[in-house]
Structure 1
Amino acid sequence: MTGWNLYEGKNLERLLAEKENPGGHSPYSNPSEDEASTLRWLAAMQSRSVPALIANVDTKLRALRHEALGVTLPLSVGDREYGDSYVFSPYTHYISYAREELSMLESRAARAALGALLTPAGLLLKASRFNRAVQVNNRLLSTNLYPELDAEAISSAVELLLREFPDHSIVFRSLNRRTTPVYLDTLTDKGFRLVPSRQVYLYDAPDKIPSKARWLHKRDYRLLDKHGYDVCGPDRLQAADAPRLAELYRLLYIDKYSSHNPVFTPLFFEQALHLGLLKLYALRSRSSGRLDAVLGYYLQGGIMTTPVFGYDTGIAQETGLYRMLSALLLSLAAEEGGLLHESAGAAQFKRNRGAEAEIEYSAVYDRHLPPWRRTGWALLSPLLNRVGVPIMRKYKF
């Protein structure tokens, strides 16, 4: 017995319905705070449908649950969704998104060489059915935080998935040496490939960062009063604010950065407020009464990450909305008392305020697949470890 069970479709609906009824012997009678957060997430995705909440992801989540441990892991199962957001489509992450990020390279020769490589690589990945993968613990967010599991529990989960999905690769996203060492070591020992995905930034407790970084944080936070902004927490935001919150996120993450990021709909923000899927905070202008910036975070195992971050990009950059929002985030992280996972992007800004870089990996198991199905991951792993990681570190992506 592995201790894990797979739930999908009607079985998942029945399982999630039990959390609404705390009586009897329901496994949801006394879930931990982290587990309750996962269950709320799955319930929202199941009842409202994923595309209704994340417009560019078309899937239905499944779940692994370990009754004795009281741990549930969301699963996404893909096939040919090559145009979906990178949080669901590995092809989008490694080909489509990478193509956009070439513009960040200073070297013209490097841009040309890597650009020429991406087209045949993309064809190869599609030919190998690259997206036919089960992604474990996938909330369909930029960063998936993991519950604390030991090597035995991780290994038994993998064994069950290999039995249930013999024609899929098994993928664990969002792994790094600092926050998920047990996952990395266990999966490597079981024969998983480590495929670099991006460079992320981790922010420790304020008393552990340099004094200059603390000074920058205080200076940024003072901009709130200088420009007349009030902080609105979850108790001061309403469903009527959801369209504006979605717009603020879209202005930054979709319009300015990339359409390959997850497109959170107004309904997503409405559900996030109603069910507590994320802790949402916004900045409201005292003069106009309008919401001009938003962030949303969740916690798992004492680690905090912010999949929602956005502001009105039409407001003059000198106002410093990004700096204000970042200062608010660091203050909230200090209140929560854990490690802040700041994801990728704005590298120099985050470094200046005390964040430290880590290379993030996807751990991939494909040894059970025929050779032609393994060619995509077999190409990416050595290429990105030998070429991609040095580029990420040099240019601080």
Structure 2
Amino acid sequence: MSERKPGDALKSIASLWYRRVRRVFIGIASLYALAVILVMTPLIQTHVLYAHYIDFLSFTKFNHPEHYGLAPGKTVNLRLTSADNTSIGAWFVFSDPFYQQLPYPPPANRDFSFPRQELISTAVKQAPTILFLHGNTGTRAHHLRTVLYTAFTARLKANVFVIDYRGFGDSEGHPTVHGVSQDARAGWDYLISQGTKPEDILILGHSLGTAIAALLSAELSSEGIRPRGTVLMSPFSSVRTLIDQYYLFGCLPLLKPLSLIPLAPRMISWSLVHRFDTLTLVPGIKSSVLIVHADDDKDIPVSHASAIFDAFLQPYLPSSPRFPENPFSHQEWDNYTAQDTLRTVIRKDVVATINVEGYAVYEEMQPSVVAKESRKVALLRTERGGHDIGRVEGVHDAIGHMFNFY
């Protein structure tokens, strides 16, 4: 019987480790390819972007708003009809000053007729109304949203009108870019039908809702209608950019490796079904705009908010210089730094910046620019707040001061 040489044992171990490492890399590559394929699948795109089915087993009782922390008789459950006859659900929440002057306890609501529905037309004449356009996942009854209604009705003394887009909650249909835009317009039209003046309606969107808010605001602007303003909380500049910057499990770049493959990024763009793109809407939005984002937002990078704010400033600034490609000469680098410095200097003449230490950086158009635009545009970047930044009291204050709720 022949003896095995020590070198043979080492080769066997190396071969075993090679096979194992190869299997791991093949597994990772296969999972990555599957993730990319799923991203390019329309059905998956819809369910990931809107996440509207996540709450389908919650059996939410929209006829009982008090079950979700709202005061009895303060909220009216409604049905609206969009332009394409899709029926959607909505809540109208009375402002605290209006609600507190009503008789207590509220009248019985055994048949869910909501007798205080007839008071909506009076309430909208006594206080401004926030048209709230929520983000993906869940419904208008989600606890992270009801706390905002409570805050807005108390701290801003405003009514809140919130809709569930098609496919969400008790609303019919399936979400699409055009469809949810119609739903937002149905919410606006309902408030107008109740006697609300456009200047008394603040359009406020959060996350996915910021893209829908931008669509509605741009549509109204094209019709010569100017609301009280538009608030974009935790916005994204476009779905395409968001996907480019998305990290699986918070650490694995989803699409960046594809940039090395010719035409691959373009294929991803072609495959997108829901093409929300707030940046392209900026020139068409004529109302005052407040953009709010937290630096510690783990879902959407704060760079999206900065990009949107800069898009509003673009008519007053030189174009952003393009970083020279390697290898670059001293002359190319000097040109780049000179252009970047010039843009920074001019930006200071266009934007006033206030640094509130330990809280946020607040930027807004200088008074001279506000006079030319006949509106304000501002960016509030808080140090903390996460993705659900609407819970931060300082955000309420920024909204209150900018849009004259105080």
What is the TM-score of this pair, normalised by structure 1?
0.31
Select the structure with the greater relative contact order (CA < 8 A; seq sep ≥ 6): 1
The answer to which structure has the higher strand fraction is 1
Kindly name which structure, 1 or 2, has the bigger radius of gyration based on alpha carbons.
2
What is the TM-score of this pair, normalised by structure 2?
0.31
